Chains A and B, each alone.
Chain A
């Protein structure tokens, strides 16, 4: 029972971080309003949030038959948590679309889908009511009364020459993505009141950015064709073409009340006070600017860098790191700033090169846009969180940023110096240290092993050893060895136990040794000695062969023994003669010559040789 509290604490410890950070994927879509006029724009924001969104593609929009997509931008924010030595990150990507309706009625934007880890997620459909006519919230900027008193206009006078709106564009030709500035100016020679926008053009085919919108009418004097006009700038809008070809900009239409001079009676004239509005009548008038055409050129293909992502303008890139010296597992922030003039809002984030020594997390992007000097510009800041994995000195090559410069009509590449980061090895603290997450090595494909090198043995291996003659012959060896050993063993046994056999075996060898000694004596001219050894050899040989004692052996006995061996008479006589010669020489020194001794020795050798062959045991 006392185990349970421990288990529940463990479950709590393990469970809580899991619950807190097992963040789910979500996708939502919002529009800024659901009831608009045909000429209005709506802004739809698709928000995708979850962990590790790097691989999540942009959500697929449904078919928007009743809307035009005028522009698209996205922003990313990330948050990181370091908890229990693990990093968890959550990201939110906002895709912002500008939509313009092209018909009146009630339309449904169908569900937007995104797939994440194999599952599909959907947003709720959005219903938008598009109504005819003026926007419900007409631009406040245009409303204002003429501050400067102007003479009233006569009914008969051509109002067109007295009051008009002009749309001025700064260039007739532009590249896709190049800024075109359109300025609306109100020219008037009559007094106006209650000036307001009737209809704003849709700017189809452009991404628009309003640079200036008049809060009230500030008039300046301008003379055209000798006529003095009061001129007020109404709006200045930066347009970035998104489609090539001739693009028309619909006119801007305005409504205003024009003061009309009455035909006055004398009485009236007496009391006439031009400053008193009570005495003037007004008439509502609609004025429209002329339609403007811009020829949008495609970007030249020649020299287009591979990494080019539709950035048009003049840009600079800078990169910085918050710490130049870091430790393994300590997060660093790499900040990349894109600045310059052009379509900053639509720029895509530069992609960092993959770095083996760092783990990368895209964190957030911020943008700051201003419209100085009639050109849209600003800067966009991208932050990346880098976590060093290995110690050492690392160079990070910040991404080069290619762009098209419409002023020089050429592609340029903005780049910055590499950043050096010195990563020290981690201070090892097993309790709080950052533990790398181990992942299993997964083989994605099976393929054959590579060919063998030339170092392998390349001879013939196919033959069978049991078919090779010499190999079979080799096996006779052990069999022969066994027989040989058995024979040898029985022989040594007999030598040990049968003295007669042993003497018979050794007789020839002993005789030869005697003859050797005799020869030595002969060479030293000791003939008597030589004869003695020869006779010894003969006596010894015959005694050994017959297993008899050497001493006391006499010539007749020898003859008898030899006869037993069935030796021929002739041979026995030779033996006898030889033995006699030896005896004679020992007693008559005249015979002791070298020649005689040598002759006797050779005869004795011959005799022994013959006897050895004859005296064979069964």
Chain B
């Protein structure tokens, strides 16, 4: 009268897989509540852009952002509208924001490189290690989902190990492999989240801003940065920001002269 354990296990597995799929769908849906008004604004913006009314198109895209919707494609079009108005700093800001949301979009990469040609400041940068590129090519959310799915698979293998004593050797091997990859992905996700929280970047928006030695209007000027240059935020003190360039130069400037990506 005993229910065969393997049959029971199959049912459990099925249940778990369904749960996992539901979770994935929830994830998709969670991202996908589309605001019809935002779509309408986007359509209007594109129409204005097609008529070469770039300033109005830019304002229309900005309204989508003001509605609290952060969307890579909206930021991309916004960047185009700013670029056509010769507002390099704003264009770079928009493209940088787009590249954080849709990091593998070729158009964003192309436009960002085209606009970067127009920046006046030349800053010596280190060539990024290959892993950095890989990390930059995925969003934090994608990292999170990858880590979760890997974790789920590892758990499934563990369950199999518990319930199927006959194939324990095989399951042990793939389970260890999967577990290592899972831990790696968790580590990378953590690293990405840490970077995002602790190494915020900003774009200079003023045509020319003087970087000073201390958060004080009368402090010694150290160097000048121009519109569009990307800097790293180190510290925030009242209305002053401590920034660092990629080549290591550090200084203070007023908050309104730049905007955090």
Interface residues of A (CB under 8 A from B): 446-454, 456-466, 468, 470-471, 474-475, 477-478, 481-482, 484-486, 488-489, 492, 495-496, 506
Interface residues in B95-132 (C-beta closer than 8 Å to A): 101-102, 106-107, 110-111, 114-115, 117
Q: Does A489 lie within 8 Å of B163, measured CB to CB? A: yes
Give the complex CA separation of A413 and B77 in angstroms.
50
Nearest-neighbour CB distance to chain B for A610, whole angstroms, equals 26
The interface stretch among B32-40, B167-175, B227-235, B249-257 is B32-40
Q: Does B110 lie within 8 Å of A460, measured CB to CB? A: no
**Could you say which residues of chain A place their CB within 8 Å of the CB of B19?**
477
Q: Which of B43, B71, B117 contacts A461 (CB 8 A)?
A: B71
Give the complex CA separation of A448 and B111 in angstroms.
5
The secondary structure that dominates the B interface is helix
**Could you say which residues of chain B place their CB within 8 Å of the CB of A468?**
30
10 nearest A-B residue pairs (beta carbon): A462-B70, A478-B155, A449-B107, A456-B73, A448-B111, A451-B77, A452-B73, A461-B101, A465-B141, A465-B144
Give the complex CA separation of A388 and B118 in angstroms.
44
Q: Which of B110, B140, B148 contacts A449 (CB 8 A)?
A: B110
**Could you say which residues of chain A place their CB within 8 Å of the CB of B208?**
none
Give the complex CA separation of A508 and B155 in angstroms.
35
A460 with B70, Cβ < 8 A, contacts A478-B155, A482-B158 known: yes
**Could you say which residues of chain B place their CB within 8 Å of the CB of A506?**
1
Give the complex CA separation of A390 and B69 in angstroms.
52
Residue of A nearest to B3 (CB): A492
Give the complex CA separation of A223 and B172 in angstroms.
135
Q: Does A478 lie within 8 Å of B117, measured CB to CB? A: no
Which residue, B38, B49, B71, B83, has most C-beta atoms of chain A within 10 A?
B71
Interchain Cβ contacts under 8 Å between A and B, 19 examples: A448-B80, A449-B80, A449-B111, A451-B77, A454-B39, A458-B34, A458-B42, A458-B73, A460-B35, A461-B70, A462-B101, A466-B140, A466-B193, A468-B30, A477-B19, A477-B23, A478-B151, A485-B162, A496-B2
**Could you say which residues of chain B place their CB within 8 Å of the CB of A457?**
32, 34, 71, 73
Q: Which of A446, A451, A463, A481 contacts B46 (CB 8 A)?
A: A451
Give the complex CA separation of A481 and B9 in angstroms.
11
Give the complex CA separation of A316 and B80 in angstroms.
54
Q: Does B158 lie within 8 Å of A446, measured CB to CB? A: no
Interface residues of B (CB under 8 A from A): 1-2, 5, 8, 12, 16, 19, 23, 26-27, 30-35, 38-39, 42-43, 46, 49, 68-74, 76-77, 80-81, 83, 101-102, 106-107, 110-111, 114-115, 117, 139-141, 144-145, 148, 151-152, 155, 158-159, 162-163, 189, 193
**Could you say which residues of chain B place their CB within 8 Å of the CB of A449?**
80, 106-107, 110-111
Residue of A nearest to B117 (CB): A446
Residue of A nearest to B95 (CB): A448
Give the complex CA separation of A457 and B38 in angstroms.
11
Residue of B nearest to A461 (CB): B101
Give the complex CA separation of A495 and B8 in angstroms.
15
Q: Which of B69, B72, B74, B163 contacts A485 (CB 8 A)?
A: B163
**Could you say which residues of chain A place their CB within 8 Å of the CB of B107?**
449, 452
Q: Does B148 lie within 8 Å of A474, measured CB to CB? A: yes
Give the complex CA separation of A330 and B216 in angstroms.
79
Q: Does A460 lie within 8 Å of B31, measured CB to CB? A: yes
Q: Does A454 lie within 8 Å of B46, measured CB to CB? A: yes
Residue of B nearest to A452 (CB): B73
Q: Which of A447, A451, A489, A496 contacts B162 (CB 8 A)?
A: A489
Nearest-neighbour CB distance to chain B for A461, whole angstroms, equals 5
Q: Does B46 lie within 8 Å of A482, measured CB to CB? A: no
Q: Does A464 lie within 8 Å of B141, measured CB to CB? A: yes
Q: Does B26 lie within 8 Å of A454, measured CB to CB? A: no
Give the complex CA separation of A403 and B258 in angstroms.
64
**Could you say which residues of chain A place their CB within 8 Å of the CB of B31?**
459-461, 463
Residue of B nearest to A460 (CB): B69
Give the complex CA separation of A466 and B73 in angstroms.
23
A454 with B101, Cβ < 8 A, contacts A475-B151, A485-B162 known: no
Q: Does A461 lie within 8 Å of B155, measured CB to CB? A: no
Give the complex CA separation of A477 and B145 in angstroms.
15
**Could you say which residues of chain A place their CB within 8 Å of the CB of B42?**
454, 458
Q: Given A464-B140, A478-B151, 5 more contacts at CB 8 Å?
A: A452-B76, A461-B71, A466-B193, A471-B144, A495-B2
Q: Which of A450, A458, A484, A486 contacts B80 (CB 8 A)?
A: A450
Give the complex CA separation of A463 and B1 in angstroms.
52
Nearest-neighbour CB distance to chain A for B24, whole angstroms, equals 10
A459 with B71, Cβ < 8 A, contacts A465-B141, A465-B145 known: yes
Give the complex CA separation of A447 and B117 in angstroms.
11
Q: Does A492 lie within 8 Å of B155, measured CB to CB? A: no
**Could you say which residues of chain B place their CB within 8 Å of the CB of A446?**
114, 117
**Could you say which residues of chain A place their CB within 8 Å of the CB of B114?**
446-448
Q: Does A461 lie within 8 Å of B83, measured CB to CB? A: no
**Could you say which residues of chain B place their CB within 8 Å of the CB of A463?**
30-31, 141
Residue of B nearest to A495 (CB): B2
